[in-house]
Structure 1
Amino acid sequence: METFQIGQTKMTWLKGGVTFLDGGAMFGVVPKPLWSKKYPVNENNQIELRTDPILIQKDGLHILIESGIGAGKFSEKQLRNYGIQEESSVEESLEQLGLTTNDIDYVLMTHMHFDHACGLTKWENGQLTSVFPKAKIITSTTEWEEMRNPNIRSKNTYWQENWEPIQEQVETFQSSLLIEEGITMYHTGGHSDGHSIIVIQDGGETIVHMADLMPTHAHKNPLWVLAYDDYPMTSIEKKQTWLDFAGNKNAWFTFYHDAFYRSIKWNEQGEIIGKLDRVRTS
């Protein structure tokens, strides 16, 4: 498991699973000859996308960013359609760190699409239960409302089994929320109407976790947005805003989905000047 630290804030990537999704959908209107130079694609036009929660440890708190793809919740058809080649082993990752799911104080959900939220619940004795029973689960008010009342488009990704068992644990916010000193969530919209990002500041350094506004390092260009985005023009606007913010702060970026990098820092010319690679085991 890779770790990254600024100040007293330590981040560890847990094993949350992997999907292989259509590259064209992940890069929207960008032509394949362009995006495929920046991110590898297989013979089925699919790209590898991790779903690895990030454990933040600070001041005695244990905070997760996202929950992983989950385990034991997909049919054979879903496993095939979503290209799921590995399910979550978050509990095993935590055990290696001397922790259990009961030690998690917060789960920060940038949004509640299935590939982020399936790890919130699990089947146990024939019932769906909370994976992190003592945690406060944080998401934007807009996201939580759509999660429970999806529209004709979003019902394919907002699943009842991912919210019903944890609804008493959920706390929501409107525009921004300070989780702990130096850790703030901001509602952006774009990828979904309720999508949020996370900004972490400590020791004079800044991390911007753009979530699915910038799911991989190859999505840095503000115009390279997903066909999955509900509001692509909002995605472009918010990417510009937060890329400018990050540039002014000389910030790091962290990723939930990237199969190659855990964190990256670019200079003004767009050159990589710092990075943490994902250790590839397959």
Structure 2
Amino acid sequence: MAGGALLSVAVTQVRIENNPLLDPNCTHVLAKYGEYRRIRGNRFNCGCELDFPITNITINDVADTSTAIFGALYIFGPNVPSAESLMRKFGNATAVYGEIAVVHTEYGNLKFLENVEKVEFYYVPQGPNALRRFIRIEGNAKLQRLSWPKLKESVSATIQVAANPKLCVTIPELSALLRAWNVHKVEAKVCDGHESALVVESNERLKTVYMRDFLRITSERPTRIENNPRLQMSLDDCNLYQASARIDFRNNKMDCFALRMSSVSVGDNYNWILSFSIFFAAQFLCFTEVQKQ
């Protein structure tokens, strides 16, 4: 192991088990093996591997102070561990390589994941046999905060945040969630003190900003939609978004300014043709009257 065998990218699976004196090079292990690994029963295991939903009983089989979580972190009520137990087990984790589901619990926050910076899956979400992997926070009646201040990315995840009536999120949390590959649903208000205007920028795959039930933007803060290379605004979108706030549209595939100029240009041409036709008709009528006289 000291010779660097674990750095070989040709190896698709790794199994290191039941070596009570073994201290693997966790920097290399974590860098190369986020999935298809079984590392347990050693002096150090480079994170904890979860093979089962977390309950108030199975939590006892999880090592304390895990620095990374491998496998699905499923917590379904009502037989769930205490928040203190979860903090002791997962409070130091900086990465989760697997799904997260916290469903029908009584937690007020999910602070036991406060140090997690990324959630990552290894799969290709395309084709008829694609399998969605979820970050699912749903049906938690007392949940008020995620308390995920360090989360920056959720690679290949589908986001489902719903039916948490008291939940509010901060702008950094919301930004991290919306960076996911798929956003199925996010139902949450922005926490007091974290309000922001609308900012939609630098989204390579974004094609539309249509939002069902969207009514108005009221904000004194800068509001902008820019640098989205595939985004094409429709005239209806432009009218809706600019109904109550001034929004800067820049460097998208089709911006509102260009649409309005095109619309004005067509309208001006039509008005010019109509005016010319009326003028010509008036001249013709005058000429006819002169001929009759």
User: Under a length normalisation based on structure 2, what TM-score does the superposition of the two structures give?
Assistant: 0.24
Q: Indicate the structure whose relative CO is greater, using CA pairs within 8 Å and at least 6 residues apart.
A: 1
Structure label with greater radius of gyration: 2
Question: Higher strand proportion, which one?
Answer: 1
